[in-house]
Amino acid sequence: MAALVTDRPGTVAKVRFVRMSASKVRVVLNLIRGKSATEALEILDFGERLAAREVAKCLRSAIANAGHNEDIPEEELFVAACFSDEGPTLKRFRPRARGRAGKIHKQTCHITIEVRRYTDEEILEQQKREELKSEGRAKRGAKNKSAKSTGGGDRSKRVAKSKQAAPEEAEDTVVDDTNVDDVAVEETPAEDVAVEEAAVEETATEEAQDSVAEEAAPEEAAAEEVVEEQETEDK
């Protein structure tokens, strides 16, 4: 990245009385300090902070000033310096209980951005890097096209090798499938089933009645004995 050189003149843009605290703006300015103008604009456009909007306005103004006053294109500029100074504080108050007043301080700030031109050596280095990137992209695109035209390229070869290396036992295994139609299933008609269920219920009720009668027999015998004793006493 280009170093800050004080002897080269730069183009300055300022935004004054921004309704935001200077500390919030400095967080955004630290992200673009020393970056190229195009990269700094990308960072600000995708930034999530509200201060990025105001900083982007100031940076675009500085780039426009450099292009209008010194005929310097945007690709040759970088953010040489950027800072935020505190502005006047607007004092307000909020009524509170028991006649008191709560303080409200609305802070402002001044944003300053300075852009400068890269040196000729730095511009040549950037151009070489861009050429290398474009060549790499072209090679990758040609490689992908050739792979698609040959039906997958190396991937198809790997798949063929994996199929050849598969064990032959998997091919010889035979799975015995039994057809459902061949299996004879004995089906009983619904009427026979109903008759059998009724017979089972009758036997169950008879057994229950017999058990109840057996349990009540000794009680009946005891009652008869008591009655006989009472009759003998009366006689």
Helix segments in the chain, DSSP class H: 22-32, 37-45, 51-69, 120-149, 154-164, 169-172, 190-234
Contact 56, 2 (CB under 8 A): no
For the record, the structure tokens of 131 come out as 């050429």
With 0-12 / 13-18 / 19 or more C-beta atoms within 10 angstroms meaning exposed / middle / buried, residue 173 is: exposed
Out of 71-80, 200-209, 215-224, give the one with best mean pLDDT. Answer: 71-80
pLDDT of amino acid 187 = 52
Q: What is the mean pLDDT of residues 194-207?
A: 73
Rg (CA), the chain: 49
Contact 10, 60 (CB under 8 A): no
Question: Is the pLDDT higher at 162 or at 216?
Answer: 162
Instruction: List, in order of start, the domains of the chain with CATH numbers.
Output: 11-93+103-118 (3.90.470.10)
**In this predicted model, what pLDDT tens digit does every residue of 7-65 receive, in sequence order?**
557 899 999 999 999 999 999 999 999 999 999 999 999 999 999 999 999 999 999 99
pLDDT of amino acid 2 = 40
Given a cut of 60, whether residue 181 has pLDDT beyond it is: no
pLDDT of amino acid 193 = 61
Given a cut of 60, whether residue 151 has pLDDT beyond it is: no
Given a cut of 60, whether residue 114 has pLDDT beyond it is: yes
Contact 125, 36 (CB under 8 A): no
